[in-house]
Amino acid sequence: MRIPLLTLTAMLCSAALAGGAENPTIADRGTVNVNGSTVFYKATGSGEPLLLIHGYPLNGELFKNNRMLPGYRVITVDLPGFGQSRAPGREASIENYAATMLGFMDALNLNNIVVGGMSMGGMTLLQMYKTAPERFKGLVLIDTTADPAGVAEKAMWMGTGQQAQEKGVASLVNLLMPRMLTAESRMKMPNQVAHLGSLIEQASLDGAVGAAMALANRPDANPVLGTIRVPTLILAGVEDNVTPAELQLKMQGQIANSRLVMIPGAGHAATFEKAMAVNAAMRAWLASLR
């Protein structure tokens, strides 16, 4: 799939497209205009590109402690309406995020790469794979699910969007933090609470409301799982109360050549809460791809 009418802003140096399809040179940071949105990214390290997509209602700084993976140029993005990215309006869907991210990959000439997604980012990644499986060398599904929202979860996400609308995006911090981090981390690691809280507060109102509706109405991605033909790492916190272990085991059972790693002492934001353990799991799995 190719998304037409891509333009790069001045922040993206012209050298970003000069390296070729398999190992492009990517600027340390930039913005890409794609699919009606302006998408901000950062890139760290050197080697093969590895793209990471955050969850709701965070941004690429969720992965601030996951950027140093030897042999990889780790690229983190802000989805439209979050962090430093801009969305054209409030309408949003998981399918549209997927089209935007595939367009982003087009703009940076990224092909046959490993892509990871946390929560909503993982749902987006499954739709990306459904559309263009040939673009991927491997998948990393982090604290996510292929299931559509059930009745109770759909109501919860609609309520989250309504709260953002009525009380402001900052009001979501106290609502969502118990889902992001374990009680122990919330008590003993105020720096983690402060960082994730700041990411939530950076979300635009359109982004927070639109993405909540996208989560409520997300497609059933279970049919995609059996079609996955690339190595897949499934990572999740043992104490994740949003996408619990049962959902991770279900995905592992449906994805051939998949590896499941459960992270002790971590909640839904395992990639941040227990970054060292997540990085170790990713390094070991990435080594198996070489």
User: pLDDT (tens digit, 9 = 90+) per residue, 103-162?
Assistant: 999 999 999 999 999 999 999 999 999 999 999 999 999 999 999 999 999 999 999 999
Give the whole-number percent of the chain exceeding pLDDT 70: 92
The pLDDT value given to residue 261: 98
- All structural domains of the chain, each given as residue ranges with its CATH number in brackets, are 29-288 (3.40.50.1820)
CB contact at 8 A, 121 and 142: yes
Q: Could you tell me which residues come within 8 angstroms of residue 31 by beta carbon, excluding any fewer than 6 positions away?
A: 8, 9, 11, 12, 38, 39, 40, 41, 84, 85
249: how many CB neighbours lie within 10 A of its CB?
Answer: 14
Amino acid letter, 125: L
pLDDT 10s digits, 7-59: 444 344 433 333 334 556 899 999 999 999 999 999 999 999 999 999 999 99
- Distance between CA 139 and CA 239 in Å, rounded? 22
Start-to-end C-alpha separation, the chain = 26
pLDDT band at residue 4 using 50, 70 and 90 as cut-offs = very low
pLDDT 10s digits, 227-249: 999 999 999 999 999 999 999 99
Q: What angle do CA 115, 288, 68 make, to 5 degrees?
A: 55
pLDDT band at residue 72 using 50, 70 and 90 as cut-offs = very high
The pLDDT value given to residue 17: 36
Q: Strand 29-34 to strand 7-8: parallel, antiparallel, or no bridges (unpaired)?
A: antiparallel
- Distance between CA 49 and CA 108 in Å, rounded? 10
- Phi first, then psi: give them for residue 96, nearest 5 degrees: -70, -40
The pLDDT value given to residue 282: 98
The pLDDT value given to residue 3: 39
pTM of the prediction?
A: 0.92
As beta bridge partners, residue 40 has 31
Amino acid letter, 78: D
The pLDDT value given to residue 57: 98
The pLDDT value given to residue 24: 64
158: how many CB neighbours lie within 10 A of its CB?
Answer: 17
Please name the helix (run of DSSP H) or strand (run of DSSP E) that holds residue 54, with its range, or none: none
